[in-house]
Structures are given as structure tokens and as C-alpha cells.
Amino acid sequence: MKGISVSVTCQRISPVYTDDMIDIAVHDDTEPAPGDLEVLQRFLNLHEHGPDGASTPPPAEMLRTFLVQRGLLGEEERFTSADRETAVKLAAALQALILVNAGEPVAEDHIEILERIAERSGLHPHFRYGDPVLVPSSEGVTGALGQLVAVAFLARFDGTWEHLKLCAADDCRAVFYDRSKNHSGRWCSMDSCGNRAKVRAFRARQRASR
């Protein structure tokens, strides 16, 4: 996978998606996940903002731009509305898998989505690249999404998956990589989400004491 730092913005998205518009660094001040897991982290954090400022799933063009720039999809490949629907479902399933790290169960439909994408992409093991990897036999969008499932699958084995978390802020829920020694991180950014949560908690305590 190419190491192009492209993922998400917490600013309003324009119809043209360039590198600086899709960069989570404007919001998430934590160090990104290691290796290919960073690509999956950025994929899960793709979103745009609706008229009311609420986060909404990424449009097809944003997803396609991301996959192309990260070397998962050829520049000439099509990305349809059906592909977007599959990608959004995959993101939801992967986020549910992350919540396992917090002790939550995974719904059967999420497991089915992950397994269906893995099957359709024809993932199979390879040992010739040094470390064992899973490589899709399919090309195009099917192969691209299959590679993301492969990253998640291997991360479950090497121990890096358990460091992924969803930001505790209800108005954020970005995926971040918790590098704290005791896995106690709660927010993708202490400067934004963490501080807002502390201010809300302080005000709630003040109201309760009146």
C-alpha cells in the first residue's frame, strides 16, 4: 500500500477532495496506527458534514479518491453508488469490531459483511513477501475493500487491533490508536474532544451542586 497521508477532515468538505482537505491531522493529535493499520484507520475516519454540522458517511467520490491515493484502486477504476453502500457497510462492521476491544459483542450481520467481502475478494495467504500477508485475487473495488478486511484480520493476530478505539465523544467517534501503557485513552484529541468532555462534566457538577 502506498504511504500517502490522506484520510479525513473535520472541516466542511468541498466537491473536490485534495490531500489537505482529507487530512485527519487537523483534528486527531494522536500518533496514527502503525503500518497498514493506519490506512484502515484513515478509511474508517472518512466522513463529511451535513448542513447542520453533523457527521455523515463519506460520498462516493471521497471514498474513491482515498482508495486511489492509498494505492488500493486504479485511477481508471469506476466507483459506483453500490460500491459506496458496500464501503459504508464495511466501515460500520469494522467499527463494530473495534468495539470488541471495549467488551461489546459483534452483531452477526457485521460478521457476515466482513466474511462476504473477504470471500468476494478472494483473499488468500502469501509468504513470499517476507511476513505472511493476505492478498485478494480480485481487482477493482472488490479487491480494494478486501485488502482492508485483510489488514483487520492480520491486526487481530499481531496485537495491534486491540489498540484501536472509538473516541468517547458522542459528537466525534473518530477511530484512534491508543498508545497509552494501560490502554486508558478515551479521546482522539485531548485538546478538542477531551477538553470539551471535561468542561461538560464540570458544568454538570456545578448544576448538580446548586
Within a domain: residue 1? no
pLDDT tens digits for range 113-138: 999 999 999 999 988 767 788 999 99
Q: What does the alpha-carbon distance between residue 108 and residue 111 come to, in Å, rounded to a whole number?
A: 5
Within a domain: residue 191? yes
Residue 45 or residue 168, greater confidence = 45
Task: Inform me whether the pLDDT recorded for 8 exceeds 50.
Answer: no
Within a domain: residue 11? no
Within a domain: residue 46? yes
CB burial class (10 A; 0-12, 13-18, 19+) of residue 71?
middle
Q: In the chain, how many domains are there?
A: 1
How many CB atoms are located within 10 Å of the residue 174 CB?
24
CA angle 11, 63, 48 (to 5 degrees): 25
Within a domain: residue 9? no
Record the pTM: 0.81
Within a domain: residue 14? no
pLDDT tens digits for range 22-79: 545 445 567 889 999 999 999 999 998 778 777 889 999 999 999 999 999 999 999 9
Within a domain: residue 8? no
DSSP string for residues in 21-45: GG-GGGT--SPPPSTTHHHHHHHHT
Within a domain: residue 158? yes
Spatial contact of 49 and 12, defined as CB atoms under 8 Å apart: yes
Residue 174, domain extent: 19-209
CATH classification at residue 72: 1.10.3300.10
Spatial contact of 50 and 56, defined as CB atoms under 8 Å apart: yes
Task: Inform me whether the pLDDT recorded for 209 exceeds 80.
Answer: no
